Every structure is written in structure tokens, then in C-alpha cells.
Amino acid sequence: MSDRMPPQVSTAAEWERRKRSVSQWIAFSLLGVGSLFGFFFLAFILYWIIRQGAPAITWEFLTDVPRNMATAGGIAPMIVGSVYLTLGSLLVAMPFALGSAIWLSEYAWKGWWVRAIRIGVNTLAGVPSIVFGLVGLGLFVYALNFGVSLLSGMCTLAMLTLPILIRASEEALRAVPRSFREGSLALGATRWTMIRTVVLPTALPGILTGSVLGMARAIGETAPIMFTATAFMISQPYPTSLLDKVSTLPYHLYALVQFNPFYTETKHIQYGIVFVLMVVVTLLNLTAIIWRTRVRRKKAW
């Protein structure tokens, strides 16, 4: 009797175990398929862009201005315009971002207003970009009378990248070990001297990495600049002052697809633009990643 009982129990347990392992297997498979889909979409997008866009890339395409209602020629003014806008927005945003990051990480004491500011910064990151576009139009183009210009676009994009820059900079500043700060203070440094001579230089690589990521985000944005900075087929291809309009990659693409009667004739140009954008964004992200790993390897604290 007693030696017949255990097998029975064991069978029931075995059954239970199998049931569990089957449901586990199903769950894993579903999850696996889900993540496979994610990978598949990415691979498909890349494949599609490369197949359609790569043939369009010629020396002329990268260096010439658009011709014949943008059905021929190149996209050089758009590349230049996008780079100007992105770099410019970084220059505008960086002082503000650095200032608030330093304040938040070094000076701000705990209190409801600091929390409020932090929530505000995080919420700013979630604001739809078209909202920035309209606010930029109202504020920079009309109220400050910059007109539809490079300057207005830089400022609008700066608002968009500000939260990314603040968060990245604050993180980098917080990562500076307390022992460095104490070492500096113990030598008779004031708080500001300590920040200037030890904290900022140590955090700089992290801050730069963050700003490169901010640029990668900004360069593809269309909505914030379409009202404030850019137009289709501007008579003067390259801007000569901050108050000129600029051509940009994303807006040129938008216009080609949406308004241009020669939709099919410009197809190779459309994919060429997307290809260039993807390459630029990938390069920026790659720079940030390489930079970060190099710094991580180098620092021994």
C-alpha cells in the first residue's frame, strides 16, 4: 500500500508539472513571436529604405541644389539647412539645459517646487512636437518678430530638445562621485569652484553624449520647424543669415510627398532623403554610444 501511494502522487504532480511547463512554453513562444515582430519591422524598414534609397545616392545628389521643380538635382541645401538648425538648436538649448541641470543636481534642496520643476521638465518631453511648432510660430515668428527663419527654428527645436539635454546632463552630473566633490571642498573650494573645476570636467563626456542624442532626435523633426523655419523650394538655397528661411530634409520630403504634383517622378529622391536621414541619425547615435563606452572604460572610479 505504502509503496503504491508514492507513484500515484507522483503522477498527479507530474501532470501538474507538465501542465505548467506547457503553459510556460506557450507564454514564451507568444512573447518571443512578439519581440520577433519588433525586430522584423526594423529589419523590414531598413531593407526597404536601403533598397529604394541607396540607388539615389550619387555625388550629385549629395552636393547639388534641386532642379526642375525638385524632380532632378540634389538635396545639398536640405542637408546644410538641417545641420544648421540642429547645431543651432543645440547652441541655444545648451546654456539653459546646463544651467538647470547644475541647479537641479547641485543646488536644489528637496521641496515641492523642485519636484514641480522636475515634473515640468519630464512633461515637456512628452508634449507633441506640433505643439512646439505652433508655440514657436506664435512666440518667435510673430511676437519676437524673428519671422519664418533659421533663428525661429533653432529656438523652437531648442524647446523640444531641452528636456532631453537637461535629463542627460543631470544624470552625468549626478554620476560624479561624492569623493571628488569632498576632495575639492576640503581644499578650500567654494561650491561653484568645485562645480567648475571638478564636477563639470568629469561630467563633460556624459553631457556631450546626451547632446548628441538630443541632436539625433531634433534632426528628424518636421512639425516644430514647418511653421517656423522652413519652406519648399526656397529661391535662395543656402541661408546667409539667421533670419533667412532654410530648406530641411524632413520638410522637403514632406512637401515632395504631400504637395508636389510630380509624386512618382520624385520617388527616388524621397527615398534618398530618408536614406540620408537614417544614416545621419545612425551615425549620431553610434558616436554617442562609442563615446560613452570609451569614457566608461577609461574611468576607474
Partner 1 sequence: MVERLKEHHDAHAGSESQLLGDEMTVTRDWVKRKFFGETIVDVEGLDFFYGKNHALQDVSLRIPRDGVTAIMGPSGCGKSTFLRTLNRMYEVVPGARATGTVEFEGENLLKTDPVILRHKIGMVFQRPNPFPKSIFDNVAYGPRIHGLRNRKRLTEIAEDALRRAALWDEVKDRLKESALSLSGGQQQRLCIARALAVAPKVLLMDEPCSALDPKASDRIEQTARELAEELTVIIVTHNLQQAGRMSDHVAVFLAGGILAEFGPTRQVFDDPECEQVGDYLQGRFG
- Told to check if 186 binds partner 1 by CB under 8 A, we report yes
- Told to check if 197 binds partner 1 by CB under 8 A, we report yes
- Told to check if 301 binds partner 1 by CB under 8 A, we report yes
Whose Cβ is closer to partner 1: residue 55's or residue 183's? 183
Whose Cβ is closer to partner 1: residue 128's or residue 201's? 201
82, 105, 169, 184: which one binds partner 1 (CB under 8 A): 184
Whose Cβ is closer to partner 1: residue 21's or residue 197's? 197
- Within residues 104-143, the interface with partner 1 by CB under 8 A covers 109
| Shortest distance, position 98 Cβ to partner 1, whole Å | 20
Q: Which amino acid is at 272?
A: G
188, 235, 240, 297: which one binds partner 1 (CB under 8 A): 188
Whose Cβ is closer to partner 1: residue 6's or residue 111's? 111
Which span sits near partner 1 by CB under 8 A: 16-24, 53-61, 130-138, 181-189?
Answer: 181-189
114, 117, 185, 278: which one binds partner 1 (CB under 8 A): 185
Which span sits near partner 1 by CB under 8 A: 21-29, 55-63, 141-149, 185-193?
Answer: 185-193
| Shortest distance, position 184 Cβ to partner 1, whole Å | 7
Number of chain residues interacting with partner 1 (CB under 8 A)? 23
- Told to check if 198 binds partner 1 by CB under 8 A, we report yes
Secondary structure in 3-state letters for the chain: CCCCHHHHHHHHHHHHHHHHHHHHHHHHHHHHHHHHHHHHHHHHHHHHHHHHHHHHCCHHHHHCCEECCCCEECCHHHHHHHHHHHHHHHHHHHHHHHHHHHHHHHHCCCCHHHHHHHHHHHHHHHCCHHHHHHHHHHHHHHHCCCCCCHHHHHHHHHHHHHHHHHHHHHHHHHCCCHHHHHHHHHCCCCHHHHHHHHHHHHHHHHHHHHHHHHHHHHHCCCHHHHCCCECCCCCCCCCCCCCCCECCHHHHHHHHHHCCCCCCCCHHHHHHHHHHHHHHHHHHHHHHHHHHHHHHHHCCC
- Told to check if 202 binds partner 1 by CB under 8 A, we report yes
Pair 65, 76: CB distance under 8 Å: yes
Pair 77, 252: CB distance under 8 Å: no
Which span sits near partner 1 by CB under 8 A: 130-138, 148-156, 183-191, 251-259?
Answer: 183-191
- Told to check if 189 binds partner 1 by CB under 8 A, we report yes
Binding site for partner 1 (CB under 8 A): 109, 177-190, 193, 197-198, 201-202, 299-301
